[in-house]
Each structure stands twice: as C-alpha cells, then as structure tokens.
Amino acid sequence: MKKTGTYQFASKPSIVSTAVSVGPLEKVSPFHPHFDFIYEDERIGQETNEKGHSQLIEDTCNMAVTKGGFQLQDIDLLLAGDLVNEMTPTNFAARQLATPFMGMFSACATSVSSLITASFFLETKLMDKVMFGAASQHNAVERQFRYPIEYGAQKPPTGQWTVTGGGYGILSHHQTGKPYVHSATIGQVMDCECTDPLDMGSAMAPAAFDTIQKHLAQNKGTSYDFVMTGDLGKNGFSILQELIKSSGVSSYLVDNYRDAGAEFYGNEEKFLSGASGAGCSATVYYGPIYAELLAGKWKKILLVATGALLSPLSFQQGETIPCIAHAVELSME
C-alpha cells in the first residue's frame, strides 16, 4: 500500500512558547499586534544584511526561550533554517546559541518541516524540549534569488515581497492549555514545469493542494476552523482555490481557506501579490495564529507551509521549479 505521509502523534506534544521578530516594513502588517519585536533597522545594526539576518535569528530564539521560562541549556535540539546559501545566517546564529543543532531546509516550508521533525523527537520521548522555526531577510534573499535591491528592478504583479522576520517555538511534552500537534502530512516534491522565479505562487499551489488533499483524506469527518497555506500570495492562492473548488475537497468540512502571504501586507499595492520567504509563514503561524489558539479563538487548524525548491544556479541552467508543501494540524483542548 502506498504511504500517505500522514502521521498522528498520540502523545500530543505541545508548543509551550513562541517568539516572533520582524523588520521595519513589516509593521504595516495587520498581524503586527502579535509580533513580539519590530526592528527599526533592516540590518539590525550589523554591517551586512546577512549578519543582520543572523542577529534576528539569535535574538528571536533567545526570546522564545525566555518567554517559556527556560534557559538555553534546557533545549535538547534546535531545528531551524533559512534561504541564504548553505543557511549561513542560521548556522552562525546556532554558533552563538551553542545548543545542539540540525539545519533544516524546505525553503519557505521550513517553518512546518522543523515542527514536524521536532514532533517525532517528542513522540519517541528521546527529547524533552526542541526549538524549531525559520527566518528570512528581505535584502539578503532578494539579492540571492532575484536582483540586488540597489539595482531597482521592477517586478510583475505576480511578484512577492520577501518578509524580514523570524518565528520560533519550543515543543515539549503535552501541557493542558497549550496548542498541541495532533497530526502532520509530509509532502511530496511536485513539479508543474513552472520556470518563472517571479511567480512562485503558481509553482507552489499544486503542491499545497496535493498535501491538503492527502491530509484531509486521512482525517475524514474532522472539522477545521480554517486551513492556512504559507506564502502562495494572492495569485497562487487564487489557483489553489480553483483547484479546491473543482475537486470537491471542501466536502471534508473545511469552509475557510486562507494564505499567510496573501494576508501579510493587507491591501498595500506595492507588495504586489503579497508576502513570501521562510519568515512569512513562521511569523504568522507562531505569532498571531498561536496567540489566537492560546486565547481559545480556534480549536483545530491546519497549517500548510509551501516551498519552492530552486536555486539561482538551477534557474540559470534552465531547470523548472520543483515545490513542496508540509502540513501540521494544531489543536486546543
């Protein structure tokens, strides 16, 4: 029998603490009341974008530890990643944090792949506290995947704005009153032969649809408050909605689909199709969505982070853009 990639976690590991930090432009986001810290400087006082990126990661991880009432030595493992070459911002932050560390890369889906991996460690009782998350920095990522900011290149309407921000959490054994991981679906790489790096949403939408369909098929009869994808943006999210409508997936008692990237910057036109970057879903999922779960506003949600698995070199060599989507179901008792 073919594996579905869906797993349930009987031990109900709980997210006991989270922290979110963002850059100066992100204060326009309707989600901003739930961001723990908003920097006034994109580089956070550092001499390069990449060093600023690393400082943001270090600061936010420390904040998650402090908010949980822990110390760094309490953390068994840090699972985290970003989009820069070889994940150097995360690697260098881990050097300062000095915790056991495993780098994670699922592009912009790392916010969820890191949480899923943490859940396996908790389920097997090999560890007590695992920190997870992801981040991005606008200038550093734009320079790597598109053009340096100074070049002033214009983007088409399908383009998206990379978020400067990071979201991190600490997963531990089940605690009443904290959101817990009920189940997860690990996605498959899908390639619809898209080639435009300025239209990532179109490339990622089929992967999101495939993972959603598989997860809901394994959880028939489950009612969700909403399903939220990571950073399809307005263009990609419209494609996902069409796929859902034509397939009848909504029959699985899901009436509300959302996308963090489409919502992140509200209706600000200069952000075109919306937000993207590993920090997009991480800041929304572990900032406002986590806070609303804690407050009892939601009881069961499905978070589906999406990632485009290309590199500058693969694009230059004429390769298409393979994509991935990972889903995690969070619940509150």
Residues 134 and 202 in one domain: no
Supply the pLDDT for residue 219: 83
Residue-averaged pLDDT of the chain: 92
Mean pLDDT within 253-267? 88
Supply the pLDDT for residue 1: 41
- Flag whether 1 is in a domain: no
- Given a cut of 60, whether residue 142 has pLDDT beyond it is yes
Q: For residues 314 and 172, which has the higher predicted lDDT (pLDDT)? A: 172
Most confident stretch, 62-76, 205-219, 262-276: 62-76
Q: What percent of the chain has pLDDT over 70?
A: 94
- Flag whether 283 is in a domain: yes
- Flag whether 79 is in a domain: yes
Mean pLDDT within 114-120? 98
- Flag whether 212 is in a domain: yes
Q: Do 235 and 205 contact (CB within 8 A), yes or no?
A: no
- Number of domains, the chain: 2
Residues 207 and 114 in one domain: no
User: Residue 53 belongs to what domain range?
Assistant: 6-172
| Structure confidence at residue 196 as a pLDDT band (50, 70, 90) | confident
Supply the pLDDT for residue 157: 66
User: Phi/psi of residue 318, each to 5°?
Assistant: 80, 15
Residues 286 and 210 in one domain: yes
Distance CA 266, CA 28 (A): 8
Residues 150 and 189 in one domain: no
Query: Which amino acid is residue 60, in one-letter code?
Result: T
Supply the pLDDT for residue 154: 67
Supply the pLDDT for residue 153: 63
Q: For residues 199 and 25, which has the higher predicted lDDT (pLDDT)? A: 25
Residues 213 and 101 in one domain: no
Q: For residues 26 and 147, which has the higher predicted lDDT (pLDDT)? A: 26
Pick the closest to residue 314 from 231, 194, 142, 147 (CA basis): 194
Q: Do 111 and 18 contact (CB within 8 A), yes or no?
A: no
Q: Tell me the C-alpha to C-alpha distance, in Å, between residue 189 and each of 132, 238, 309.
A: 22, 21, 9
Residues 54 and 163 in one domain: yes
Q: For residues 315 and 251, which has the higher predicted lDDT (pLDDT)? A: 315
- Could you read off the pLDDT of 130-141 as tens digits, one per residue? 999 999 999 988
- Given a cut of 60, whether residue 281 has pLDDT beyond it is yes
Domain boundary among 172, 201, 227: 172
Residues 213 and 158 in one domain: no
| Structure confidence at residue 247 as a pLDDT band (50, 70, 90) | confident
Mean pLDDT within 175-203? 92
Domain boundary among 148, 172, 196: 172
Residues 20 and 108 in one domain: yes
Run of H or E residues at 21: strand 14-22
162: phi > 0 → left, psi -120 to 50 → alpha, else beta; which?
Answer: beta
- Given a cut of 90, whether residue 93 has pLDDT beyond it is yes
Domain boundary among 128, 151, 172: 172
Place of tokens 């397939």: 247
Mean pLDDT within 142-148? 68
- Given a cut of 70, whether residue 69 has pLDDT beyond it is yes
Sequence-separated (6 or more) residues with CB below 8 Å from residue 229: 208, 237, 240, 257, 258, 259, 260, 261, 304, 305, 306, 325
CATH number of the domain encompassing residue 108: 3.40.47.40
